[in-house]
Structure formats: structure tokens, C-alpha cells
């Protein structure tokens, strides 16, 4: 009951901050990117808040207990992705003045068809990413309150979609910044407590996994005992590092900062926030191996650890805090994802008004809820890994080549996207449906990024015929890299007051 | 100056991007200048264009260098974690990567900004 109460508190606080942040979402740009009036510090917090999802709060610790310390390579990849975001994407994307990845594709390649294709890819990635979030909400609610899984999932869907439909991105930014702090406090606080409460014996056991189980302590990620752990680790690293770069909801965030320079700096700040956060799944994972070695659903290990270490009231209070932190992770990530999904549905696929955008949120939630009911048995990190693999095989090459190489054509991008999306989703689906012997093939299907990413890059570049590069392509690319008045919104100034429209002042200042 | 005249008035403001979104089917060239809301680069002199070109090449070199460094760093971390014996192996994986990643990103951002500054100084 305590757990349910703390979760309700987080939800209530989110709704209040959301309503406070609304200040009337008037037009599509308001709704989608908060009319660019979000201050950089908030933005980094919001990106981290949205990015530290159920996969990080629950999934990492769970996978650590289940598969061994190598699970932390996921965290390394999640963070390393932001080095590439800072280096390859953030600045130029901001200068392009496009809202979403499909917008960018249309800007760069001048083809409305490619925009719709990108819209479809956004849908696939966002849905794959939403599933594990709803799964997390369902299992946590089930654990702390006994509510059946499906009711928890449906309820979570209602809460998220209603907060977003009212406020849009502006409210989402503040809500997500708040959620990063909630997550850090509610995951880190209990972790520190638990280290003390565990006592010297269990601490010693947790810190010496090598003695107990050398296989578990091997710093490589072995997927279901395939025996090719180095291959699996590298493929996961490729997927997470390159996937972070192509995640539509992350890329979209950079449009809410003042200019290209702050966009890059925001990416660096995100690395700091993520590094700080990823210290704590380690605590739950190491302690969890000692105190909850036989958990059936490893994805809830962080919620199980407190009561296993400290039975009684203290344990119950700590459990409630962790559960609230996990729920905050679910809320923030899924609201960011739903916004991008709604953007994809209405803005890119149907060309849209605000009401269509709101409808998009509702439709997206319904889809994700429906799909997450049968996904209850799949590990959170496996699902998230697929979303990253698809992003790495589609938008990563599209953005990299589109930003840095003027030879990319609409045809090349179309073929490349088809091949990348087809091969990565196909491999993931095959690995979910087929029951393969653990081995090289099963790894290459379950973690396809290692071969699908190069494949997508090669087809995208190979199918771009040099002769068919239009005259304006050169200008479209140059504009992304030149500071000053020839690029959009690159004023460099930090917005001072909320409520004034920065685009307008920037325009008249020139 | 428009903004100063309309201090206390609530105006529905649409950005150039919104206008773009509302007006579909524009031709490619029109889309470019509408999207950015800025003068087209083709109004630049040959010298300016040349400087822009150079700035872009520098940024691209830097980006490639950072991406390669990241790959090398991750490979080195992987090797270090596997080769370190006993307890320290997983400690390397838990704590070593993040400072490395942060330094890579910081160095990149500083260099990228320096390239931009140089471009701006060249062409005031």
C-alpha cells in the first residue's frame, strides 16, 4: 500500500507540474518543441530524465542479476551514444531548423515521400521502445499493490496520455526534469541506505562475485549462454551507441535549445547526468545477486532488494521509494516517446493540426498498451535493445550521411531505410518467434546491429547515384555547419524570460 | 523591431517552420529558404562560400576523428575489462568508461566551437 501511495504522489506531482508548465499549448510548434524557449540546464535534465528509462532503473539491475556484470555494457553504450550525438548530430540538427527526423529528411532530401517513410520508422522505433516501459509499469504496480498486470498497464497508459494531451512538450520538459531528480533521489537514496543495512557479510559477498561465480563475474555480456560473449558484447555496444544517435525523441529534444552551440553542450551535460545515474543499478545488481538470487521476474529486482535486506517498516518504506522512482522512469520516458510517436503519426504521416496531434497521443498509447500485454515475459533490456538496433540501422546512417555527405540522395536514403528497417526488425522478430539454439546465429538475430548497421550505411551510400545529386543539396548541407545569420535559429543567446517568443525576437533582431 | 511595438498584445506567432508545415507541396528551393527563414547562401560572395566550405570540412574532419577515438576507446575498455584479473575486471567496466566518454565529448565540443569562432572571425 505504501508503494501505491508513493507512486500516486509521483503521478500527482507530475500532473501538477505539467499543468503549471502548460501555459497554453497554442500551436503545433508550442506543442512539439515548446517554441524553443526551454533553458539549456532544464533541457539536459529533461533529456536525461526521458532517457533514463525503465531499462536503466529496473532492466540493468535485473539483467545484472540474471546474466552477470557484463550487463553494464548496456549502460556504457547508452552513455557513449551521447559522445556521437555531440559530435555528429546535435549542432547541425539544431541548425537545420527541422522539428523531427522526418522534417529533417524532407529538408535535406526534398522529398515528401521520404518524410512519410521516416514517419513510419519513427512509429516502429517508438513502439518497440514503449513496450518495455509499459511492461515495467505493469510489473512494478503488480508487485507493490497486487493489481493485475493488465490493469496496471492500462492505468499507466491513461495517466501518461492524459498528462501529455493537456500539455505537450513544454509541460513534458518540466515534468521530465522533475523525473530525473525523482529517479536519482529515489534510486540513489535507498541504494546508499541498503549498502549500510546489508551488513559486512553480505557486502563482502556482493563485492566478491568472482569467488562465488566466476562466470557471472566475467565482464562480458553473454546472451543466454551462447558461448560467444565477446561477439554479443560488441553487438550490444554497436546497437546502443549508434542507436542513441538515431532515437527520434532524443533528436527532437535538441530543437528546444537556443542554438547549435547550446545543443552540443546539452549533449555533454547529459553524459555527466547519465554517468552519475549508472552508479546505482550496480548497487542493486550486486546486492540483488546475494539477497534475491532466485527472483523469477528479474526486472523487478531493485524493488525486491530493500525488503530482502531490511524486513519490516524500513524495508517497506525503501521499497515504496524505489517503486516510485521506477514509476517516474516509466512516466517520463513514455511521455517523451508518445510525443515523438504522436508527432510521427499526425505531423509527418497525416500533416497536422493540434487536435490530430492529441489524437496521435491517444492512438499511440492504445497501440503500446495493447502490444505490451503479450510482451510481459520478455526482458526489458531485450526489448529496449531492439529499439536501439532499429534506430541504429535506420536514422543513424540517415542523419550521419545526410549531415556530413552531400552525395546522399532521396533514392539512396529510401533504399537504405528500407534495408535497415527491414533487416533489423526482421532479425528481432525472427529471434522472438524462432526458438534457436544458442550460438552465433542466435546472437546475430537477437542483437542484429553488428551487421544491419554497416549494411544500411552501405546501401544508403551505394544507392545514391552521384549524377542525381540536386544543385541545392550542397547548400542544404553547408547551411548545417556555418554559424551566424545564414543558419536557422543559431543566435547563440540563451532565452531569458519564459513566455516571450524567441523566434520572433531573433527574426526582428537581424 | 516588430516585437517592441507589440509589447502588451497577445499575438499568435507562427515560426517559419510552422508556415512550412502548413504549406505543403512547395518546390524544393522554396522549401529551403522558407525552412530556414534566412537569406539563401547563394547570396554569398565566392569568398564567403569558400570560407563556409572550409569550416564544414574542418568540422567533418573533427567529427570523424572523434568517432574513431570513441571506437578505439571502447575497444580499449573492452580489452582492459577482459584482461584485468579478478575483482578489478568488473570494477573497470563499472567505473572507467564514463570519465573517458566525458573527456572525449568535452574535447570535441571545445574544438568544434573553436572552428566556429575562427569562421566568424574570418567573415565578420
Q: What was the pLDDT predicted at A450?
A: 94
DSSP per residue over A165-188, as a string?
Answer: HHHHHHHHHHHHHHHHHHHHHHHH
Q: Is A328 on the interface with B (CB under 8 A)?
A: no
Mean pLDDT, all residues of chain B? 73
- pLDDT band per the 50, 70, 90 thresholds, residue A211: low
Buried b (16+ CB within 10 A) or exposed e, A31-60: bbbbbbbbbbebbbbbbbbbbbbbbbbbbb
Most A CBs within 10 Å, among B57, B94, B115, B121, to test the A interface? B94
pLDDT score, position A351: 60
Q: Under a CB-based contact definition with an 8 Å cutoff, are residues A30 and A170 in contact?
A: yes
CA distance A203 to B87: 14
Out of B17, B39, B102, whose CB is closest to A97? B17
3-state secondary structure A187-231: HHHHHHHHHHHCHHHHHHHHHCHHHHCCCCCCCCCCCCCCCCHHH
Closest by Cα among B108, B9, B115, B85 to A86: B108
Do residue B28 and residue A268 have CB atoms under 8 angstroms apart? no
Q: What is the spatial distance between Cα B95 and Cα B91, in angstroms, rounded to a whole number?
A: 6
Prediction ipTM score: 0.85
What pLDDT is recorded for position B73?
96
Has residue B107 got a pLDDT over 90? yes
pLDDT of residue A414: 94
> Which residue ranges make up each domain of chain A?
2-21+29-377
Upper half-sphere CA count for residue A62 (Cβ side, 13 Å): 24
Predicted confidence at residue A340, as pLDDT, reads: 78
pLDDT at A424: 95
| Residue scoring higher pLDDT (A316 or A17) | A316
A80–chain B Cβ distance below 8 A for any pair: yes
Q: Say how far apart CA A408 and CA A464 lie, in whole Å.
A: 6
State the pLDDT at residue B15.
55
- CATH 3.40.50.300, domain A2-21+29-377, yes or no: no
Chain B residue with CA closest to A231: the answer is B78
Say yes or no: A373 contacts chain B, CB-CB below 8 A: no
Lowest mean pLDDT among A248-252, A386-390, A397-401, A491-495: A491-495
pLDDT digits (tens, 9 = 90+) for A378-430: 888 888 889 999 999 999 999 999 999 989 999 999 999 999 999 999 998 88
Each residue's pLDDT tens digit, A330-348:
887 888 888 778 777 776 6
Q: Of the segments A436-450, B50-64, B97-111, which one has the largest average pLDDT value?
A: B97-111
Give me the pLDDT at residue A507, please.
31
The pLDDT assigned to B53 comes to 87
C-alpha to C-alpha distance for A472 and A262, rounded to whole angstroms? 27
Taking CB atoms and an 8 Å limit, are B60 and A504 in contact across chains? no
Q: Which pLDDT does position A181 carry in this prediction?
A: 84
**What is the structure's pLDDT at A25?**
47
Amino acid at each position: 500500500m505504501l508503494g501505491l501511495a508513493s507512486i500516486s504522489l509521483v503521478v500527482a506531482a507530475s500532473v501538477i507540474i505539467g499543468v503549471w508548465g502548460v501555459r497554453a499549448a497554442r500551436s503545433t510548434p508550442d506543442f512539439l518543441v515548446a517554441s524553443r524557449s526551454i533553458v539549456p540546464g532544464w533541457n539536459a535534465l529533461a533529456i536525461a530524465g526521458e532517457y533514463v528509462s525503465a531499462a536503466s532503473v529496473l532492466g540493468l539491475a535485473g539483467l545484472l542479476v540474471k546474466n552477470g556484470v557484463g550487463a553494464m555494457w548496456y549502460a556504457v553504450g547508452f552513455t557513449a551514444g551521447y559522445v556521437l550525438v555531440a559530435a555528429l548530430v546535435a549542432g547541425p540538427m539544431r541548425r537545420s531548423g527541422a522539428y523531427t527526423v522526418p522534417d529533417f529528411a524532407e529538408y535535406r532530401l526534398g522529398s515528401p515521400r521520404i518524410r512519410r517513410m521516416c514517419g513510419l520508422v519513427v512509429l516502429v522505433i517508438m513502439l518497440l521502445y514503449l513496450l518495455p516501459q509499459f511492461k515495467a509499469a505493469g510489473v512494478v504496480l503488480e508487485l507493490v499493490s497486487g493489481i493485475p498486470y493488465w490493469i496496471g498497464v492500462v492505468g499507466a497508459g491513461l495517466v501518461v496520455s492524459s498528462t501529455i494531451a493537456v500539455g505537450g512538450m513544454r509541460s513534458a520538459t518540466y515534468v521530465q526534469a522533475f523525473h530525473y531528480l525523482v529517479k536519482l533521489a529515489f534510486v540513489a537514496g535507498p541504494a546508499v541506505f541498503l549498502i549500510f543495512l546489508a551488513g559486512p557479510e553480505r557486502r563482502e559477498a556482493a563485492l566478491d562475485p568472482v569467488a562465488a561465480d566466476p562466470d557471472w563475474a566475467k565482464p562480458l555480456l553473454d546472451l543466454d549462454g551462447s558461448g560467444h560473449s565477446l561477439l554479443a558484447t560488441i553487438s550490444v555496444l554497436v546497437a546502443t551507441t549508434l542507436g542513441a544517435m538515431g532515437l527520434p525523441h532524443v533528436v527532437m529534444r535538441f530543437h528546444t535549445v537556443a542554438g547549435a552551440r547550446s545543443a552540443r553542450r546539452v549533449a555533454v551535460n547529459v553524459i555527466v547526468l547519465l554517468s552519475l545515474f549508472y552508479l546505482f543499478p550496480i548497487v542493486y545488481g550486486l546486492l540483488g545477486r546475494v539477497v534475491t538470487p532466485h527472483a523469477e521476474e528479474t526486472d523487478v529486482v531493485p524493488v525486491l532488494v530493500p525488503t530482502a535486506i531490511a524486513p519490516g517498516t524500513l524495508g517497506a518504506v525503501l521499497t515504496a521509494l524505489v517503486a516510485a522512482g521506477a514509476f517516474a522512469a516509466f512516466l517520463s520516458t513514455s511521455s517523451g516517446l508518445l510525443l515523438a510517436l504522436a508527432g510521427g503519426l499526425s505531423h509527418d504521416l497525416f500533416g497536422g493540426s493540434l487536435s490530430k496531434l492529441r489524437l496521435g497521443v491517444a492512438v499511440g498509447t492504445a497501440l503500446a498498451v495493447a502490444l505490451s500485454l503479450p510482451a510481459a515475459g520478455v526482458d526489458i533490456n531485450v526489448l529496449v535493445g531492439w529499439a536501439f538496433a532499429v534506430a541504429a540501422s535506420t536514422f543513424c546512417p540517415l542523419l550521419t550521411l545526410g549531415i556530413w555527405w552531400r552525395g546522399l540522395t532521396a533514392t539512396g536514403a529510401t533504399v537504405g531505410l528500407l534495408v535497415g528497417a527491414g533487416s533489423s526488425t526482421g532479425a528481432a522478430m525472427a529471434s522472438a518467434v524462432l526458438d534457436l539454439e544458442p550460438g552465433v546465429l542466435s546472437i546475430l538475430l537477437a542483437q542484429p546491429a553488428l551487421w544491419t548497421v554497416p549494411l544500411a550505411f552501405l546501401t544508403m551510400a551505394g544507392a545514391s547515384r552521384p549524377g542525381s545529386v540536386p544543385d541545392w543539396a550542397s547548400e542544404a548541407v553547408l547551411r548545417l555547419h556555418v554559424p551566424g545569420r545564414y543558419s536557422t535559429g543559431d543566435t547563440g543567446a540563451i532565452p531569458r524570460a519564459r513566455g516571450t517568443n524567441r523566434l520572433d525576437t531573433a527574426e526582428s533582431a537581424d | 523591431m516588430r516585437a517592441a511595438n507589440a509589447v502588451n498584445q497577445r499575438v499568435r506567432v507562427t515560426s517559419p517552420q510552422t508556415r512550412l508545415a502548413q504549406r505543403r507541396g512547395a518546390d524544393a528551393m522554396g522549401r529551403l529558404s522558407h525552412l530556414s527563414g534566412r537569406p539563401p547562401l547563394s547570396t554569398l560572395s565566392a569568398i564567403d562560400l569558400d570560407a563556409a566550405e572550409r569550416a564544414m570540412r574542418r568540422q567533418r574532419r573533427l567529427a570523424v576523428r572523434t568517432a574513431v577515438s570513441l571506437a578505439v576507446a571502447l575497444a580499449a575498455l573492452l580489452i582492459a575489462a577482459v584482461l584485468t584479473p579478478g575483482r578489478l575486471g568488473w570494477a573497470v567496466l563499472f567505473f572507467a568508461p564514463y570519465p573517458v566518454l566525458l573527456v572525449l565529448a568535452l574535447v570535441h565540443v571545445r574544438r568544434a566551437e573553436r572552428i566556429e569562432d575562427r569562421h566568424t572571425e574570418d567573415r565578420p
